[in-house]
Amino acid sequence: MSELVRLTDITKVYQGGVTGALNGVSLAIEEGEFTAIMGPSGSGKSTLLNLVAGLDRPSSGSVTVAGSDLGRLSETGLARFRRDRIGFVFQFFHLLPNLTALENVLIPARLKSRVSAESAGRALMSRLGIGEVADRYPSRLSGGQQQRVAVARALINQPTLLLADEPTGALDTKSGDQVMALFAELHQEGQTIVLVTHDPKLATRYAARVISMLDGRVIDDARLETTERKPADVIRVRSEEPSR
Ligand SMILES: Nc1ncnc2c1ncn2[C@@H]1O[C@H](COP(=O)(O)OP(=O)(O)OP(=O)(O)O)[C@@H](O)[C@H]1O
Ligand SMILES: [Mg+2]
């Protein structure tokens, strides 16, 4: 495995912030890892994820992703980095209500002006078990379906790194489990994933590494033997997948 992400001595102080949101974080993530970031509210999880995504810049320290030192990129370069390298999934889906599910999935592909995007989008949605709802508007989908649309949108440009900030936080237990099983399956296919969660059960059940944060610092970093990536979960989320 080769190294995909390296954070070196990162600090982040927000404008008007009394204490630092991050206070000296150094860590590396290998290609293909499924890492969960845990920690109490305010410990700096989202701040860390946003820096890796190139959505924000650190106050000091360096962030390198797939060989790019993000601090050396211009705003345009950073936007291109996000488009080409990063898939991001949010807690509250952030789907555009006036676009269909498929049109939402295709937004990043359109930014890249990929010609054959529509058939790729439909194939991806069907793989994620949402092929049948591709032409519906988000308001007519369940929370779990909306989040799978958001995952499809994050994956459409085949990102190097899939990042998710509390992707199950707004879902019921069953939908949350389906989304996590989907992440586990993507990980088994080689996708590098970093996921923020409050839920220790989900983190230890699905992720292979758990980083714990407190007050802007990493206080624990554990690689786990994951026990329960049940094939049944994987089959359930892939029920619509045509044979490949
Ligand atoms: N845009 C901002 N401006 C000022 N302070 C901020 C901003 N975003 C976060 N903070 C502060 O930085 C610290 C870390 O916040 P962060 O959102 O990274 O925590 P978190 O671990 O993701 O918390 P949660 O579990 O509640 O999402 C907190 O003290 C927070 O108040
Ligand atoms: Mg957060």
Ligand 1 pocket by Cβ (under 6 Å): 14, 17, 21, 39, 41-47
Q: Which atom of ligand 1 is nearest to the CA of 44?
A: 18
Is the pLDDT at 13 greater than 70, yes or no? yes
What is the 3 state secondary structure string of the chain? CCEEEEEEEEEECCCCCCCCCEEEEEEEEECCCEEEEECCCCCCHHHHHHHHCCCCCCCEEEEEECCEEHHHCCHHHHHHHHHHHEEEECCCCCCCCCCCHHHHHHHHHHHCCCCCHHHHHHHHHHHCCCHHHCCCCHHHCCHHHHHHHHHHHHHCCCCCEEEEECCCCCCCHHHHHHHHHHHHHHHHCCCEEEEECCCHHHHHHHCCEEEEEECCEEEEEEECCCCCCCHHHHHHHCCCCCCC
Question: 31-54+85-237: which CATH architecture?
Answer: 3-Layer(aba) Sandwich (3.40)
Region 45-53: mean pLDDT is 97
Ligand 1 centroid to Cα of residue 13, in Å, is 10
The confidence band for 145, taking pLDDT boundaries of 50, 70 and 90, is: very high
Closest C-alpha to ligand 1, atom 30: 42
Ligand 2 centroid to Cα of residue 123, in Å, is 32
Res 9: pLDDT: 98
Q: Which atom of ligand 1 is nearest to the CA of 47?
A: 18
Region 63-91: mean pLDDT is 95
Res 231: pLDDT: 41
Report the chain's mean pLDDT, rounded to a whole number: 89
What's the pLDDT tens digit per position in 157-205?
Answer: 999 999 999 999 988 888 888 888 889 999 999 999 999 998 888 888 9
Q: Which of 47, 92, 165, 199 to mutate to test the pocket of ligand 1 (most atoms within 8 A of CB)?
A: 47
Is the pLDDT at 241 greater than 60, yes or no? no
